[in-house]
Amino acid sequence: MPEIPDLNIFRRNLAEKLVGRQLTDIRFLITRRLKNTEEEFAAALIGAHLTSIIRTGKELHFEFDNGHTLGLHLMLYGELHWFTGTNENKFPIAELMFSDGTGLSISDWQKSVIITLDPEVATVPDALSIPAGYLSAALGKTSRPIKTVLTDGKTVVGIGNAYVDEILYDANISPLSVANKIPDKAIKALEDAVKNVLVNAEEHIYANFPETISEKERDFLQVHRPKQTHTLKGEEIIKMDINKRSTYYIAKQKLYE
């Protein structure tokens, strides 16, 4: 699943090419996850000019000059691809056509991509915009595992399975730690790790794939390494499931319980 570092780069590259363009057509090849009809999407969006693309949590929002927004959640396997003329990308879900002839293909072999019209705005902070003191107060209200709290989208939005493992590794906190048992000093380390890990990952990916709207590089991750037995530093990786999420960490990460 694309996460914040990937999506920030996708957003930048999509905006550079599409902002200011008029949407001339939108076609849906798979409609099973649509909450609005194809006709409602067309009536709201065709003919409007794209004014901005923003990332909110794990979604990209395409904002148009008539006040409507197209929301896109790529889920686990969704991909974006440019095309001109005929879309030859595999497993298309939808196609967006713009006034300069640029086509944007949204594809997913699992058919799980979610496309929404005028999506709801998140009511909790984005992972890169957490207010001072917020995390300490929020964690103090729950006894769930910290990994669950950070990934379920109810406390913060935007952190997925891979990067939460990286963040907890960087903060030296076990993913099994009880959220309301984590002391203030460790929460401060966690806040710092959220920003450091996500920003550094974005910089790394952008340096290697500056024009990407689909690449999801993970080889540089420290501990979330499904095919490896050790971190990049040589530490043995422990693997387990936490609430059905594959989790990777090392023994020295501090457990608060």
Instruction: Report all structural domains of the chain as residue ranges with CATH numbers, in order of start.
Output: 4-117 (3.20.190.10), 127-249 (1.10.8.50)
- How many residues does the structure list for the chain? 257
Structure tokens of 251?
């023994």
Q: The pTM is what?
A: 0.94
Summarised one tens digit per residue, pLDDT across range 78-98 is: 999 999 999 999 999 999 999
What does the alpha-carbon distance between residue 50 and residue 125 come to, in Å, rounded to a whole number? Answer: 25
pLDDT at residue 80, rounded to an integer: 97
Strand-pairing partners, residue 73, are: 59, 114
Question: Would you say residue 201 has pLDDT above 90?
Answer: yes
Question: Would you say residue 144 has pLDDT above 80?
Answer: yes
Distances (CA, A) of 133 to 126, 137, 153, 169, 236: 14, 6, 18, 21, 34
Question: Would you say residue 1 has pLDDT above 90?
Answer: no
Strand-pairing partners, residue 241, are: 246
Q: Which helix (H) or strand (E) holds 170?
A: helix 161-171
- Please say whether the dihedral angle defined by the alpha carbons of residues 130, 133, 134 and 138, taken in this order, is positive or negative: positive
C-alpha 184: how far from chain center: 27
Instruction: Please compute the mean of the pLDDT values over residues 52-57 and round it to a whole number.
Output: 97
Summarised one tens digit per residue, pLDDT across range 95-109 is: 999 999 999 999 999
